Chain A
Amino acid sequence: MAVTVDDVRHIAALARLGLTDERAHTLVDELNTILRHMDVLSRVDTGNAPEVSGIGAAGAPLRPDSGEPTPLARARESFAPRMQDGFFLVPRLSTHEDGADAGAAS
């Protein structure tokens, strides 16, 4: 499989990375060089080899629903780019940009 400049623009948009035209074009070549090597995998017979995520088969440890959160040694204001009245501020986005469910996880 090979990526086109449109693919690169699409994934750059997904990753919120701004790219100049020339950078986009060099990335097409760089990514294709790498992906060409990756294609050997498609020729490997993995049969029904289990996917390994590399982490404990013991299962996720569970913690009690109690205790104190890890305290912050520094105020949020000390590392936040912009705060006011305890809120993190970002450039205004119209509530329609992402649906009015702004904030509610789905």
Chain B
Amino acid sequence: MNAIDAVNASLDRAGAVGAGREALNILLYQDAKASRADATEVDARDATPGPLHGVPVVIKDNIATLSLPTSCGSRILDGYVSPYEATAVSRLRAAGAVVVGKSNMDEFAMGSSTENSAFGPTKNPLAPDRVPGGSSGGSAAAVAAGIVRIALGSETGGSVRQPAAFCGVVGVKPTYGRVSRYGLVAYASSLDHVGVFGKSVDDAALGLETIAGLDPLDSTCAAEPVPQLRDAARGGLTGVVIGRPREFFPDDLDARVREKCDAAFEHFKRLGAEIRDVSLPHTKLAIEVYYIIAPAEASSNLARFDGVRYGLRLEGDGLRGMYEATRSNGFGAEVTRRILLGTYVLSAGYYDAYYRKAQQVRGLISRDYAGVFNSGVHLLFTPTTPTPAFLLGSKSDPYEMYLSDIFTCTANLAGVPAMSLPIGRVDGLPVGGQLIANHFDERQMFVAAYALERALGDDAHR
């Protein structure tokens, strides 16, 4: 299929489902004319079309694109258009993909519901009274609504996997350093990842394969060779050991979510895998560690939004007044809260008690994973979230909202790859199952994902 037809179909679909701000509010920015021009150019360019030729893609609003604004769902960057392009986007476009929109998100990726966007919440296309998850809710919804097969998101504590689970699509967070962060607007640099959404496991594999690999513009990007992830479709599970970490199956876990997970384990067993009970004892501290380290780094990363070189500027009393007017009006409540929290834990007298301590506990969490993977376990399987998508506006207490990252954020803290895929529905709401692998072992993860997707068939969405 040529690019222009694919892009037109995608644009029509976006209109039909009401992707705009007035309806589901999935896409913050679109430029049909520019997208069609790109498509025509790609059709003319690609003599031998690759697998991504003409594939429309949606990009989270915190990843730098040349054709559309990059506002991070924030008033402070409203309408800002980047003069350079993120590496991940360049690689998708070089492979023939065409950007058709920038997706809504929690402001600066701080949130788990996409309700913290300065431009209003995104509604879950499968249940418009519910959240799509977050912070990459717009990208997840764009795939769920059939606007695109592949979308880019970003993760700091679960912002790809959790919305993937809530929207019934596939979401992958690669190993830290597997995908360049160049052009991803930083929230918490040591936890930030570019992630990929796919309608299917194969879509996600194709997207990740394309953007992965060394980038001289990101000092934390690894030189590890990139595996052929799509070949993982032919891999089997015989002899593969899949761990069942007890901390991810607490007694109060929603019984129906537990059921779906047990069914998945049955499939794995039938396919020749060995299921082993394991423990990651420091998981219970992950939220606390995460909500010290992430805000600390954020308080520094967001200092550049000062009204001097780009973005919003509001005048006040002198320079000091300009800074304070710009930043207090430009940032929303949650971003302000995290900047203050992060500033506090780094400030004189508190650094050791909070930041250093959190980094040490983070070390123990990584050690938990290393221990399990060194004991002959190849993969872990868990629920992606404790519950399916919740109702819009139902979580007012910040800390309660933080708890929705509980099963996902340890993978960010340890830097190991993880992904969520649909494993069935509860009251018509999607449930996600999470696969976690050892550093740079995305291929093993995808072998299991392809296998489970095949085994579940339509049950994945029932």
Q: Which residues of A approach B to under 8 Å, CB–CB?
A: 1, 3, 7-8, 10-12, 14-19, 27, 30-31, 33-35, 37-38, 40-42, 44, 46, 49-56, 58, 60-61, 63, 70-74, 76, 78-82, 88, 90-93, 97
Chain B: interface secondary structure? Answer: helix
B interface, how many residues as a size bin?
A: 35 or more
Q: Is the CB of B84 within 8 A of A79?
A: no
Find out whether the CB atom of A27 lies under 8 angstroms from the CB atom of B340: yes
With A16-B306, A16-B323 in contact, do A44 and B361 touch (Cβ < 8 Å)? yes
Within 8 Å CB of A79, what residues of B?
80-81, 83, 309-311
Can you offer 6 A-B residue contacts whose CB atoms are under 8 A? A11-B340, A34-B341, A41-B285, A58-B222, A73-B84, A97-B319
Chain A residues within 8 Å of B319, by CB:
90-93, 97
Interface pair B285/A40, CB less than 8 Å apart: yes
Contact B220 A46 (CB under 8 A): no
Are B307's CB and A34's CB within 8 A?
A: no
Whether A18 pairs with B328 at a CB distance below 8 angstroms is yes
CA A72 to CA B84, docked complex, whole Å: 6
With both chains docked as a complex, state the minimum distance between the C-beta of A47 and any C-beta of chain B, in angstroms.
9
| Alpha-carbon separation in the docked complex, A64 to B219 (Å) | 14
Q: How far is the CA of A81 from the CA of B330 in the complex (A)?
A: 14
Q: Known contacts A56-B220, A80-B309: does B325 contact A1 (CB below 8 Å)? A: no
In angstroms, Cα B366 to Cα A7, docked, is 33
A78 with B83: CB separation less than 8 A = yes
B344: CB under 8 A from chain A? yes
Cross-interface CB contact of A46 among B216, B323, B360, cutoff 8 Å: B360
- Which of chain B's residues have a CB closer than 8 A to the CB of A55? 176-177, 190, 220
6 smallest A-B Cβ distances: which pairs?
A: A18-B324, A81-B313, A54-B190, A46-B360, A51-B359, A16-B323
Cα distance A7–B343 in the bound complex, in angstroms: 11
1/0 per residue, CB under 8 A from A, across B344-362: the answer is 1001001001101111111
Q: Are A7 and B344 in contact (CB under 8 A)?
A: yes
- Please state if B340 and A40 are interface contacts (CB–CB under 8 Å): no
**Best-buried of B223, B361, B366 by chain A (most CB within 10 Å):** B361
